[in-house]
Structures are given as structure tokens and as C-alpha cells.
Amino acid sequence: MNRFDGPKEACGVFGVFGQPDAAKLAYFGLYALQHRGQESAGIVSSTGKAIYEHKGMGLVPEVFDEQTLNGLHGHMAIGHVRYSTTGSSIVKNAQPFVVSFGGTTLAIGHNGNLTNARKLRKKLERKGSIFQTTMDSEIILHLLARSFDAGVEEALVEAVSQIEGAYSCVLMTEDKLMAFRDPNGFRPLCLGMLNGAYIVASETCALDLVDARYVRDVEPGEILVIDKKGLQSIKPFPNRPHTFCIFEHIYFARPDSNIFGKNVYTIRKRLGQKLAQEYPIEADFVMPFPDSGNYAAIGYCHEMGLPLEMGVIRNHYVGRTFIQPAQSMRDFGVKVKLNPVKDILHQKRVIIVEDSIIRGTTSKMRIKTLRKAGAKEIHMVVSCPPHRFPCYYGIDFSTKGELIACQHTVEEVQTYIGLDSLCYLSLQGMLDATDGNENGFCLACFNGKYPIKPEDDVSKLCLEY
Ligand code: SF4
């Protein structure tokens, strides 16, 4: 799926300690992580004594300019790009979220979703906590405040022992940077170094952009505390099986990143090769809808010995919003982003490689434009199994109603989209492509086996009451 039409990423986080102009480094880090959230962006910096912040709605270059960055002083900073998975998309809910209490300022950036947020928030409110936002991330700060007298490290250990679900976070006080990841390790988080400065980021592509050296992943269940004394690692949890989000490999992460110890591009290509082994379809050529199935399409072609063509051309200059066309120009919305190349498609048998089908509406419109352009046969192969179950760990398909494969059989989805055939990669094929097994990954949106049981009412707006 195209990034603007498909499932939305949870968020991206970035942190830096020990670098002059840390906020500028965070700005570039967020630029590299923009694909993980396009609704809001923010940076909080510190000189060791005073905290500075700037946040806003929009893309990173829309939120920051030279002047705002020059006002973010200090050698340490955290940054965040957000797509709302809990709480509305409003500036009040932009992150990093900053609070002051007991003479200390705390800022947090969170990627993931807490599965016991509603219960914890009610408990905290009964004890007198007053919440400023509808984000589950704020709960972590309230829990921290309750045991802060013991010191921020102890307070954080106490806080993480109460929260459940998915969290890869950066946290900052005036003089400490902390990074922590849930014991299941749903979302990625890595550690790098740049000229003696410490960097943490959701993905390694952010380290690459700022020329930092990848050191290692922040381990599931680990808390890193970085201050002028150096780096300290705290592991408050007993070991438990990891359940990395496999959909990061299929769709979310950038192909130039290495996550969960593997390169995303390589995995996507192998997903395409597995697809070809499971479904060797006769056709004239293979094509992706840019930029969704690009790498799996390369893998499918290599395995089949079929040519790869770009049967549709993407307009790179379409913003997130444009004036909706009149009813008489119904297909304008699709065509302005992706325009079919009639000479390539005319009378051809085409295999489209997709990375996912969530609602199916965008695919349906795209197939219609390919038919109009003269394609003779259109087959679609998808580089993961059907999405039949909601995600409660930070991805925006949180109800079954949003998932076409939950409501309909594969044949019905094929008919709805208007395809000659539709094939999904098997669960085993997907695992083989990642060299993984059922125990190392979360597969809940495919098989309904949730590694952490969610509360009964978990939805994007569940804290808005
Ligand atoms: S349910 Fe799916 S999208 Fe959500 S964490 Fe698990 S694998 Fe990832």
C-alpha cells in the first residue's frame, strides 16, 4: 500500500546525548524517520540545566526552520514524529510530551501502544492525577511522578513494571537521556555513537543519515540511562520470549534499515521470492504500485525470470492533502498520485506485487485505472497472509471492521478489487523469508494469537471520555 493510503505507522523516536547542537542532529534524525509518522513532529533539548521545546502539526520541515532550531539549545535532545494511535491528531497530543514537577522537567517520546492504558489511567485519576492529553504515553510520566523521590532510574523501573504492551521510548530530564523498550520488543530501537555522543533511534536509517555508527539494538526489556558519567544498562525484567512486530519487516520500516538484526530490503526481496515459489503465475511482466511492493516485486521477478516494469508512474510532488476533485473527476484522486502507462499495459498480463491489503478500497480504484489503460489480465500477489485481526500494539488497524480480509473470503476480496486472481503469501512462507519462527515474532494480525492480551476496549480514542 502507498504510505498515505495504507496502515499508518505508530511513531518514530530519536535521542542524542553529548553533541553540540543536539537539536539539529535530532532534526535530521527525524527527517530519516518521517515515514513512521507524518501528523506531528517535536524536539525537546537541554543544556543540562534548562529545557527547550518546539512541536507542531505537519511534516518535519513544516514544523522546524532555522530559527526554531537555533532556539533549541543544548548538548542533548529527544525528538518524535507521530501518527496518532492513541489520542486524536491535535497539537496538544504532539510529542515529546513535557511535564514539570518537584523541580524537575521530564520529556517523553513514545512509539507503540500500551494495552492496559485505560485501567492505569482510571487508577491514577482516582488517586488525583490530572491528565493534560488523551495519549497513553502520558500515563508513563504520571507513574514516574508517583515514585520520583527515589530517583529517576528507580522511578522508571517502577513505572515500566506497571505498564503493558508495546513501547520503545526516549525520555529526558535536564541532565539524563533514557531509552527503554518493552520486554516483548514489539517496536525496534537501536543505539549508535557519533564522535563520543550517544544516539538512539527507532531505525538504523536515522543513524546513517547523521553518520553515527550502529552499536547494537536496545534489548527488549532494557533501560539505558545516559548521562555525563556514560551509559548504564538496567534490566528489570526476567527474560521472556520476544515478539518482534513482523509487519515492520513487511511494510513499516525503511528498506535501508536493519531491524531485529536483519536488513529490511533483503527480507522484502525474500518475501517476493517465497511468493513466486508458492504462486508461479504466467504473465508478461511484474509490477509494484510504487513504493509499496517494490522490493518484494524484485524478489518475485528474480525467482521467476520475469521482467519488472513500472506500469504506473508516481507523482512525487503530491502533498498529503489536495483539494478533492468534483464527482465528475472521480478517478482524479488516484491518478494524481499514480498514473498508468498505457503503452506498457495495453493487452498485457500483469502481476502486481503488494505488501498488504487492509481496507481494499485503494486497490480497487487502482485496478480500475489499470483496466481502463488496457491491461488484459491482472493478478495480485501479496507478500504477507491476509490481515484478519486488529493490532493493539501501535498500528492503526485497531478494529475488525477496518480489515477487508476479516469480513470476506479471499475470493470475495478478489472479486471486490476486480482481479483475475489474488494470492497471499502463507504464514510459513513469511516466517521462512525472515529466518524466523512462530516464537520470535508477533503474528497476531494474521493468526489472532496475541502475545499480550489487550483490554476489552482498546481503540485509538479509548482514552477520550
Ligand atoms: S498485530 Fe501485526 S502489526 Fe501489530 S504488532 Fe503484531 S505483527 Fe505487528
Q: What is the pLDDT of residues 283-327, one digit of tens each?
A: 999 999 988 899 999 999 999 999 999 999 988 777 654 455 555
212 Cα–ligand 1 center, Å: 29
Q: Which atom of ligand 1 is nearest to the CA of 389?
A: 1
CB 178 within 8 A of CB 224: yes
CB 337 within 8 A of CB 312: no
Kindly report whether the global pTM for this prediction surpasses the value 0.85: yes
Nearest to 29 by CA among 68, 77, 71: 77
Which amino acids bring their CB within 6 angstroms of ligand 1? 186, 245-247, 391, 393, 395, 442-445
Q: What is the CA radius of gyration of the chain?
A: 23
User: What average pLDDT does the segment 17-41 reach?
Assistant: 96
* Most confidently predicted of 71-85, 267-281, 317-331: 267-281
330 Cα–ligand 1 center, Å: 33
Question: Has 301 been annotated as catalytic?
Answer: no
- 138 sits in the region (left: phi over 0; alpha: psi -120 to 50; else beta) called alpha
Give the bridge partners for 109, in sequence order: 170
- State whether residue 30 is helix, strand or coil: helix
According to the model, what pLDDT value does residue 196 have? 96
pLDDT at 2 over 50: no
Q: What is the pLDDT of residues 95-125, one digit of tens each?
A: 999 999 888 999 999 999 999 999 999 999 9
pLDDT at 461 over 80: no
pLDDT at 413 over 90: yes
Query: Which residue's C-alpha comes closest to atom 8 of ligand 1?
Result: 245
According to the model, what pLDDT value does residue 148 have? 87
CB 76 within 8 A of CB 177: yes
Q: How do 441-442 and 244-245 pair as beta strands?
A: parallel
Helices then strands, counting H and E runs in the chain, come out as 17, 23
How is residue 85 annotated by DSSP? Answer: S
Compute CA 213 distance to the chain's CA centroid, rounded to the nearest angstrom.
Answer: 22
Q: What is the pLDDT of residues 349-391, one digit of tens each?
A: 999 999 999 999 989 999 999 999 999 999 999 999 999 999 9
Query: Which residue's C-alpha comes closest to atom 6 of ligand 1?
Result: 442
pLDDT at 403 over 80: yes
According to the model, what pLDDT value does residue 459 have? 58
User: What average pLDDT does the segment 139-163 reach?
Assistant: 93
Q: What is the pLDDT of residues 193-225, one digit of tens each?
A: 999 999 999 999 999 999 999 999 999 999 999
The rounded mean pLDDT for the chain is 91
85 Cα–ligand 1 center, Å: 13
User: What average pLDDT does the segment 49-78 reach?
Assistant: 97
